[in-house]
Amino acid sequence: MGHGYQAIKWYPFKRGYDGWIAAFVAVFIAVFLVGLYAFAPPGQFYSPVQALMRATGSCAFACLTIVLCIGPLARLHSVFLPILFNRRHLGVATFLIALTHAGLVLFWYHYGGVVSPALSLLTSNTAYDRLAGFPFETLGALALIWLFVMAATSHDFWNSNLGPGLWKALHMGVYGVYALIIGHVALGALQRETAPAFLAMVLSSLGLVSGLHLLTALVSRRAQQASADEIDWIDAGPALDIPENRARIIQPISGERIAVFRYAGKISAISNVCRHQGGPLGEGRVIDGCVTCPWHGFQYRPEDGQSPPPFTEKVATYRVRLDARRHVLIDPTPLPPGTATAPALIQEIPA
Amino acid sequence: MRAAEAILTAFGIYGAIGLIFAAFFVAWGASRLDEAAHGMPLQVRLILIPGAAALWPYLAWRQIRGEGPPVQ
């Protein structure tokens, strides 16, 4: 946590995750190449470089789609939490695949001329004033630059030294990247490729990303409305409905979400926002007595919101109590980060 | 053509300054900014080079002002 820096903190889960990424990329590219040659329309020929160019471009697009779907999926159901963890490696992989795609494009279409490949890319087509024949390569280049910025600042050092606000703002640019790539594909590949698989891939991606984000927003709004009838204390529902060592996330009318944890016969509430990268603590678990962020494993004691020594991170805590119906009541006013507050004891529920 | 050349030249200058700055930053600047960066292994310093080269104006401004990590 706020203690020294390592290049990559490897452990078995992370190695497995990266193994799945590598396997996905290899299988995707292999299947794409086989499909491209097997189902190429009559008269359409692809050189190996052109085929690889399309395969890497499509693979980067697929990886970016997955990156964008992971967040909403994990909010909708905890079964997706394992893929949320270590998402940044998938982001870096996306950049590297997109870089390979760009390298192949520069090599095939722009290398060996009288001007440099980069200048050739910018000047070979300048029809920015019309959609038909629009220089879609520029959109791809802009997306690649931003993917680079995100990949280059994905290390913990940058999160600590840019601060969560600036870091998050930089990385929310992933939605701009997605829009640029949709434009790049729609004005480029989709204008040339007649195979319906290309259009199907783009439409599936758009439908999946927008549909999941809309669904998550709806579910979140419903949860917000459910807590809108709060007066002072928020009713967070029956204590025993919260799974052991897990949390229920509550959205107060104003302020950050609150994660209400049940553990060892007790109930405590802390801010849902991890101090590391703003990860959703309420989607994590209590491990070794500490709330553990599902993103990068930062830990906080549920009773006081402090990271165990020697770490120094702190999150806000909230007062909790149980009512006669065995419901958890939360005072929505956050206590200063690291403030100890008594957990509600489930055994002592009033009769 | 001229506009494209100007953009690429500006990009090249930005990147060249960024790389020079990044070399100094990962060698000395990072630990001035963040105590936890003292004694970072070489691999971490190498990983930080692209980010330092990309964000050098912001980091240079922070170095000049002698600021530590942002309060979180």
Enter the ipTM.
0.93
Three-class SS of residue B47?
helix
Judge if A208 and A263 occupy the same domain: no
Chain A residues whose CB is inside 8 A of the B46 CB are 7
Q: HEC profile for A240-276?
A: HHCCCCEEEEECCCCCCCEEEEEECCEEEEEECECCC
**Whether A321 contacts A223, CB under 8 Å:** no
Kindly list the distances between the CA atom of residue B42 and the CA atoms of A7, A146, A168, A288, B37, in Å, as whole numbers in the listed order.
Answer: 9, 26, 26, 33, 11
CA distance A249 to B47: 36
Judge if A55 and A126 occupy the same domain: yes
CB atoms near residue A294 (< 10 Å): 20
Looking at the structure of chain A, the number of domains it has is: 2
Judge if A56 and A113 occupy the same domain: yes
What is the extent of the structural domain holding A99? 12-222
**What pLDDT does residue A220 have?**
77
CA distance A120 to A103: 13
Count contacts between A and B (CB, < 8 Å).
73
Work out the minimum CA distance from A92 to partner chain B, whole angstroms. Answer: 12
Whether residue A5 and residue B69 make contact (CB cut-off 8 A), yes or no, is no
Strand partners, A291: A286, A300
Judge if A111 and A192 occupy the same domain: yes
Judge if A23 and A53 occupy the same domain: yes
Q: Which amino acid is at A268?
A: S
Closest to A275 (Cβ–Cβ): which among B1, B48, B72? B72
pLDDT band at B72 (very low <50, low <70, confident <90, very high): very low
Closest to B47 (Cβ–Cβ): which among A2, A155, A160? A155
Whether residue A119 and residue B48 make contact (CB cut-off 8 A), yes or no, is no
Q: pLDDT tens for chain A, 351 residues: list them.
A: 445 788 887 778 888 989 999 999 999 999 999 999 998 878 888 899 999 999 999 999 999 999 999 989 988 887 787 787 778 899 999 999 999 999 999 999 999 888 999 999 999 888 888 888 899 999 999 999 999 999 999 998 998 888 777 888 999 999 999 999 999 999 998 888 877 888 999 999 999 999 999 999 898 777 666 655 545 788 888 888 899 999 999 888 777 889 999 998 899 999 999 988 788 899 999 998 999 998 888 899 999 999 998 888 899 999 998 888 888 989 888 898 999 998 998 875 444
Query: What CATH number does residue A287 fall under?
Result: 2.102.10.10
Q: Is residue A4 a part of any domain in this protein?
A: no
